[in-house]
Amino acid sequence: MPGAARTVMGVGLARNRYLLLTAAVLPLVVGLGLLVAGQDRAAFFAFVAGTVPVLAVLVFDIARALGEGRFGLDLLAALSMATALAFGEPLAGNVVALMYASGQQLERFAEGRARREMTALAARAPRSALLREGDTLREVAIGALKGGDLIVVRQGDTIPADGRICGGPAVLDQSSLTGEAHPVRLEEGEEAPSGAVNVGGAFDVRVLRPADESTYAAIVRLVEAAAASRAPMARLADRYALAFLVVSLALALAAAFLSGDPRRALAVLVVATPCPLILAVPVALMAGLSRAAKRGVLVKSGGALEKLAAVRALVIDKTGTLTHGRAQLQEIRTAPDFASDEVLRLAAALDQASSHVVAAALVAAAKARGLALAVPEGVAEEGGVGVTGRVEGREVAVGGCTFVAARATSNGDALRACLPVASAVVAVAIDGCFAGLLILADRVRDDAGEMVRALRAGGVDHIALASGDRAEAVEALGRSLGLDSWAGDLQPGGKVAHVTDARARAHARLASGTVMMVGDGVNDAPALAAADVGVALGARGAAASAEVADVVLLVDRLDRLAEAMAIARRALAIARQSVFAGIALSLMGMLAAAFGLLEPVAGALLQEAIDVAVILNALRVLIPGQGEG
């Protein structure tokens, strides 16, 4: 066969593991039949025919991996098959070929089972949308959708792009996004996330942003990146694999030399093919990622899953994280010559340009009072600190008291007397004058205390609260939840400093320790990036925080974070257990082969049994364990 043809054949076999398995099985069955019929020579060639194609594909795969700078234990399988052919033991070579091909299929099945919850997201991504154009409907590719388009979502359809409900109400199944099984009802005007499935009557959606910039597309991209990632533990397994290869070869050569029987070397090699190292770690970690995704926690990579298991210190934001982030306006205090409705109207008009949860609360309060909001101009925002701009020709500044006081002729001290302890305060300056304070209240999440207790039970021994809110409100919340430290009036750089301080504390106590930061706003993005593990509340959080975070909490429940940590710890424990148990069993089999207690064929069958046991053990990660829902 010409070289080019052989290459094409090798590539085809490498891409079709079913064909590879067939190439090993059929000759083996035929050869065993010929042996029973007494046709030993014909059986010999049948076994050779069952070994050579698999060996050719394996050599091709090894060469390609080495060219990409990757190394694995497939080399042992190639050596054992080649050695079997060289020693005139084609039956052993054919059995090894079968074990290798079936092992590939078994691994693909296990990883497919482990990825199921993650790949289900991408599989459900819609390909087209029904666009309403006047009185007509036209099916278009979702890539053609743009902001302002009106689309029809029929019963059973997946919403292709983020939008607002028109002609509602709508009943949506958001389980693929949040992990919550119960349908939710959205009224007209409420925002509907892409990826939710319509389980009620048809309704219209006014598209807010293109499909590739919407919630579901971002989640699918994160899932694909997580599925393609390689964890540090997997790379560490590669280094163990090199040591195992050296030990295997040394034992095989020593057995052949000391016994004078080269078949013992072959028996040792087939027992060592393949190694649980290349099976257990990726399956267990992928199962952990999938299990976390099913609980509404998207872990972006295997490396992030490993870090999540090692968290010892936590820095957490307040607004929208420990609180519901749905602050309601309680009181308006104004300076002389300013009316309360005027202060609220101008502040809310400017805050239309901000994504902060408090800004949304002010806009909602103004609309509830029937105040008309003009479009702001020249808007400049300092994330998490404040916003400036022009509204109806007037210069307006909205934000923290320090931020606004720096842009006004007074600091409003008289208005800040006797503020409610647990309130959030927004200052407003108009045309360079301190105009007033908007006082809001934000209820603490019901599951905040439970999350703190679960995290401490999981090994987190230092929890710090870092917030841009008033120091008094932050201290009151920190004390009520029994946290270890707290700080308020922080700008984004201050939160980064708290992450750095928490890492220093962890290292001082434990000589190591991973720091996790939890937040939901644009102002949290720098701290999320600075932490070892950044966790963004993706259910309602800002896109910027979700992009830089290592973990995205898709469901609006803090208790799932403690569950994700329990899943991560269990996944790593099972991966290590599988590796060490598999290596121990393989070494015992290799020693038995070295002393002549195992024939090559029996050794290959033993190793396959070990591989099956290792993969099944790794798949236990998919079964809920202690601390998981």
Distance CA 244, CA 247 (A): 5
Count other Cβ atoms within 10 Å, centred on residue 274: 26
Alpha-carbon dihedral angle through residues 43, 47, 49, 55, given to the nearest 10 degrees? -170
Q: Is the dihedral of CA 345, 350, 351, 352 positive or negative?
A: positive
Integer angstrom CA distances of residue 609 from 65, 602, 614: 26, 11, 9
Count other Cβ atoms within 10 Å, centred on residue 36: 9
3-state secondary structure 111-178: HHHHHHHHHHHHHCCCCEEEEEECCEEEEEEHHHCCCCCEEEECCCCECCCCEEEECCCEEEECHHHH
Q: Closest by alpha carbon to 540, among 384, 323, 333? A: 323
Integer angstrom CA distances of residue 110 from 19, 21, 41: 19, 17, 38
Name the strands in the sheet holding 394-399, side by side, starting at the edge strand that comes first in the sequence: 328-334, 433-441, 423-430, 394-399, 386-391, 377-382
CB of 464 closer than 8 Å to CB of 484: yes
Residues shown for the chain: 629
Q: How many CA atoms within 13 Å lie on the side-chain side of 31?
A: 23
Spot the catalytic one: 74, 157, 204, 317.
Answer: 317
User: For residue 522, which amino acid is it?
Assistant: V
Distance CA 176, CA 199 (A): 13
* Catalytic site includes residue 317: yes
DSSP annotation of 22: H
Assigned token pair, 473 = 């409100």
Distance CA 279, CA 612 (A): 10
Residues 212-227, buried b or exposed e (16+ Cβ, 10 A)?
A: eebbbbbbbebbeebb
Distance CA 56, CA 603 (A): 22
Distance CA 32, CA 132 (A): 66
Distance CA 413, CA 243 (A): 69
The partner residues of 486 in beta bridges, in order of sequence, read 465
Q: Closest by alpha carbon to 563, among 309, 324, 316, 322? A: 309
DSSP annotation of 531: S
Enzyme catalytic residues: 317
